[in-house]
Amino acid sequence: MYNFKMNVIFHIPITQLFDAFHKPELISQWIAPPPMHVVQVVSDFEEGGQYRIVMEEATGKSYTLTGEYTRIRRNDQLMFSWAWEDALEESVITSVDIQFEQLNDSTTEIILIHSGFANEKEKEQHNLGWIGCLEKLSTIRFH
């Protein structure tokens, strides 16, 4: 199995950053890598709860991501499964583990581990996708 790990620092308070990973109005601003955008987010944010995110390209082609929240520790850790509904990849279900660490009142580091890929190509595609998404996350607007 293949996996990758990212350490990323955001100039966002920990409570807002944690919220950005589960509140639909925030997820929709960043979870699709450029140039895609999010057209639907459904999230039952509790351990065992499901989520579904539909992303769309400019051409109209859509991709649907689904999964289950497996561990929720507010402002500390978030774990969830990750699966594409089209099942075109060899990796059917992978998992994401994100740890949140407050560096100061307005700065948070996340450690993201995405694991369970069947091959190097899928691992790299998702690594690049996360990079694009996290770049968008750093610029989202909190209300």
pLDDT of residue 119: 95
Helix/strand/coil for 32: coil
What residues does each domain of the chain span? 2-137
Alpha carbons 102 and 73: distance in angstroms, whole number? 14
Tens digit of each residue's pLDDT, the chain (143 residues): 999 999 999 999 999 999 999 999 999 999 999 999 999 999 999 999 999 999 999 999 999 999 999 999 999 999 999 999 986 777 789 999 999 999 999 999 999 999 999 999 999 999 999 999 999 999 998 87
Return the closest-CA partner of residue 81 out of 45, 44, 51: 51
Domain 2-137 CATH superfamily: START domain (3.30.530.20)
Alpha carbons 6 and 51: distance in angstroms, whole number? 23
In sequence order, the 6+-apart residues with CB closer than 8 A to the CB of 104 are none
Helix/strand/coil for 60: coil
The bridge status of strand 94-104 relative to strand 107-117 is antiparallel
